[in-house]
Amino acid sequence: MNRAHLTALALAAALALPACGPSLRERAFSYRFADNSEEQFREVLARLPPAAEHASPLNASGAPMAFVTTHDAPRAVVAIDLTTGAERWRHALDAETRPEVVGDLVITSDRTRIVALELESGAERWSVRLGDLGYVGAARDGETVFLAATVGALGGARRVGHAMAIDARSGDERWRHEIEGVFGHPAASGGMVFIPWERQNIAVLDELTGHEIARLRSTDDVIAWIFQDPTGIYYGHNGVYRMTHRSVSGSQADSTRITLPIADLPREPRLFDDGFVPSPGMRTA
């Protein structure tokens, strides 16, 4: 076989590669993925549901409830009816992180697992092994729960992030990403999950495939948290950004953003917890 034949074969193989595996557009968290793309971000905004007012408390029961952890033995997660003050259920668990309500589930973690409890009864529906990572949060859209766990957000030589999609009913894993970097608490809406990573980016992934469909990169600020709400998607650090068509700029000045009306407060309090650090389950609710 001569050099011309080898060159032709190599070119044919190179052209065939995209058909054999995911393209750069689909490869989540690749550093070669384009950020702040207006075309890709228009697709994201088109998929988000219209903003709506809060009609009832954001849990499946529709009733005001609190989910707390106890720190007397035996430790437990407890559901409290805020209308009557009565305890509705108690589940024995040495919870390490603050309980989160995602639809009809209450999610927390112990030292080895992420645990999903039934909101109405407190019974365990499913769990996911954590390994040595710290659980930083959950989000839900429809029948999919998105979980994030990480280590190294506060420093150290090891930086690892895991993000996964879990079937809310069965607990089966649908997809997972593992990176050498840190993830924050996710948000989810419109068949998409929004995952902050490395405190500078928000990767927008398709719920079904786990493929990245768009990415926002902050050019002059830190992204420390993100959350979904019936009124929209919000993210930020010391200020609050609302996800709009202006977000694709990546800059503070050109985005839809507000800041705290009072500056120089003692200890520089944040509006929301750092989404890259596990929220402690002790002495909190």
**Cα–Cα distance between 223 and 37 in angstroms, integer?**
18
List the pLDDT tens digit at each of the 285 positions of the chain: 544 444 444 434 433 433 333 333 458 999 899 999 999 999 999 999 999 988 777 788 888 999 999 988 899 999 999 999 999 999 999 999 999 999 999 999 999 999 999 999 999 999 999 999 999 999 999 999 999 999 999 988 899 999 999 999 999 999 999 999 999 999 999 999 999 999 999 999 999 999 999 999 999 999 999 999 999 999 999 899 999 999 999 999 999 999 877 777 787 777 889 999 999 876 554
- Tens digit of each residue's pLDDT (9 = 90 or more) over 136-146: 999 999 999 99
Nearest to 229 by CA among 277, 270, 194, 177: 194
pTM of the model: 0.87
Per this entry, what is the length of the chain?
285
Residue 72: phi, psi to the nearest 5? -100, 155
Domains plus CATH for the chain? Answer: 26-54+128-258 (2.130.10.10)
> Cβ of 166: how many Cβ atoms within 10 Å?
24
- Tens digit of each residue's pLDDT (9 = 90 or more) over 10-23: 434 433 433 333 33
Residue 46: phi, psi to the nearest 5? -65, -25
**Cα–Cα distance between 108 and 263 in angstroms, integer?**
34
